[in-house]
Amino acid sequence: MPALGQLENATLMEVERTPPAHRKMLDILPGVSGGVARIMVGQPFDTVKTRLQVLGRGTIGAAGMPPEMVYNSGLDCVRKMMKSEGSSAFYKGAAAPLLGNMVLLGIHFPTFTKTRAYLEQSDAPGTFTPWKILAAGAAAGAAGSVVSTPTEHIRTKMQMVRKNNILAQMKGAAAGHLNPQENYKDNWDCAKKILRNHGLRGIYSGYMPTLLRDMQGYAWFFFGYEAAIRGLAGPGRTKADLEYWQVMGAGVMAGFGLWGSMFPIDTIKSKIQADSLSKPQFKGALDCLERSLQVEGFAGLWRGVVPAMLRAVPVNAAIFLTVEGTRQLIAESEERIDAVVCKVHGAQAAVA
């Protein structure tokens, strides 16, 4: 029996050490899986959105560009990209945001959950206070902007490599086409060159508009989701009672809240990050805003919004389906762990 007792003690220690790490995984892993879903589904939409923001007809960036690099609409952008660059161009620069979003949503979801719990700690169960959800979402956006700024900067630079090479050719540049400091082969090469030549300030170009965008966007992202969940569940029911299609529908509402609230700021962010670091066209975010309004008008700040809103449907449905599905799987595994703990305790009691 001593051997059995030793085995039971070892098993109990192993199981009882698992739940704390498991609970941390419950916070982080769903967001990580959601980040993968976001990029795999949404990258082509984002590429079209960014090109319209920077190279749409009538924009500052489109001035002097050849017709094949100036886009009248999202469909026109897709058609021209397929013809001149092929389908792989839609995923250009995806590696950095893929890794970044795995971290990013691993920050957003637990930050929102913990901030909301802190703000609602004195509230009665089931209380729904809009400003607290908005504040928790803004906190999640602020925390995530530290990661989203460099990853989106690298993605935007990679999405603009073709434009920069064409500009260099038009100016009669030598065989390399482009200043070697800004001729990026891939994501890693882009990150190395920016850090080497411009430091952290360079890699964090566009941080302030990204911070403002993410605080506003994720406030309405989480509010849209939680409000939709509350409406769909109805009195006396919780998220666990909803069907998968309802969770996906709430995710779509979250995406509409995200992009509908922050798109003009995202346009300025895209223009800043697409700009040359060596010879910048804009002095900063305010200068970019002023000049964009002068040349393009207020409507120019919304250029590319259609692909962004279309993107919100499959991307955010996939994000929340993945996040909630992962949470459910982890919760079920925790229940199994608890059952093992109970059995081991029971076996120890019997031995004693």
Give the integer Cα–Cα distance in Å for 149 and 164.
21
Answer whether residue 102 shows pLDDT above 90: no
**pLDDT at residue 319, rounded to an integer:** 74
Q: State what percent of residues in the chain have pLDDT above 70.
A: 73
Residue 11 located in a structural domain: no
Residue 205 CA, distance from chain mean position: 17
Q: Mean pLDDT throughout 28-34?
A: 55
**pLDDT at residue 179, rounded to an integer:** 61
Answer whether residue 101 shows pLDDT above 70: no
Residue 312 located in a structural domain: yes
The predicted-structure confidence for 117-164, as pLDDT tens digits, reads as follows 999 999 887 788 999 999 999 999 999 999 999 999 998 998 887 777
Higher pLDDT, 3 or 251: 251
**pLDDT at residue 1, rounded to an integer:** 37
Residue 169 located in a structural domain: yes
Q: Contact 303/264 with Cβ under 8 angstroms?
A: no
CATH number of the domain that 131 lies in? Answer: 1.50.40.10
Expressed as residue numbers, the domain containing 194 is: 23-350
Residue 337 CA, distance from chain mean position: 32
At position 156, the amino acid (one-letter code) is T
Give the integer Cα–Cα distance in Å for 197 and 105.
30
Answer whether residue 8 shows pLDDT above 50: no
**pLDDT at residue 149, rounded to an integer:** 95
pLDDT-based confidence at residue 13 (cuts at 50, 70, 90) = very low
The predicted-structure confidence for 66-76, as pLDDT tens digits, reads as follows 888 899 999 99
Count, residues in the chain: 352
Residue 8 located in a structural domain: no
Would you tell me how many other CB atoms lie within 10 Å of the CB of residue 147? 22
Residue 154 located in a structural domain: yes
Give the integer Cα–Cα distance in Å for 323 and 228.
16
Three-class SS string for the chain? CHHHHHHHHHHHHHHHHHHHHHHHHHHHHHHHHHHHHHHHHHHHHHHHHHHHHHHECCCCCCCCCCHHHCECCHHHHHHHHHHHCCHHHHHCCCHHHHHHHHHHHHHHHHHHHHHHHHHCCCCCCCCCCHHHHHHHHHHHHHHHHHHHHHHHHHHHHHHCHHHHHHHHHHCCCCCCCCCHHHCCCCHHHHHHHHHHHHHHHHHCCCHHHHHHHHHHHHHHHHHHHHHHHHHHHCCCCCHHHCCHHHHHHHHHHHHHHHHHHHHHHHHHHHHHHHCCCCCCCCCCHHHHHHHHHHHHCHHHHHCCHHHHHHHHHHHHHHHHHHHHHHHHHHHHHHHHHHHHHHHHHHHHHHHC
Answer whether residue 23 shows pLDDT above 80: no
The predicted-structure confidence for 165-210, as pLDDT tens digits, reads as follows 776 666 654 444 456 667 788 888 999 999 999 999 999 999 999 9
Q: Which pairs with CB-CB distance under 8 Å and at least 24 residues apart come from 180-189?
A: 181/278, 182/157, 182/276, 182/277, 182/278, 184/157, 184/158, 186/95, 186/158, 187/93, 187/95, 187/96, 187/154, 187/155, 187/158, 188/95
Q: Mean pLDDT throughout 266-285?
A: 93
Task: Measure the CA dihedral 235/240/246/247, to 10°.
Answer: 130
Q: Mean pLDDT throughout 299-304?
A: 92
pLDDT-based confidence at residue 216 (cuts at 50, 70, 90) = very high
**pLDDT at residue 183, rounded to an integer:** 77
Which of 24-38, 222-236, 288-302 has the least mean pLDDT?
24-38
At position 305, the amino acid (one-letter code) is V
The predicted-structure confidence for 85-95, as pLDDT tens digits, reads as follows 888 888 876 77
Question: Look-up: residue for tokens 């489109």?
Answer: 62
Higher pLDDT, 70 or 325: 70
**pLDDT at residue 330, rounded to an integer:** 61
Task: Measure the CA dihedral 224/266/210/61, to 10°.
Answer: 170
Lookup: tokens for 76: 């026109």
Beta carbons within 8 Å of 222's beta carbon, 6+ residues apart: 112, 133, 134, 136, 137, 140, 254
Instruction: With CA atoms as reference, report the closest residue to 249 among 322, 324, 313, 328.
Output: 313
Q: Name the domain count of the chain.
A: 1
Residue 311 located in a structural domain: yes
Residue 306 located in a structural domain: yes
Residue 3 located in a structural domain: no
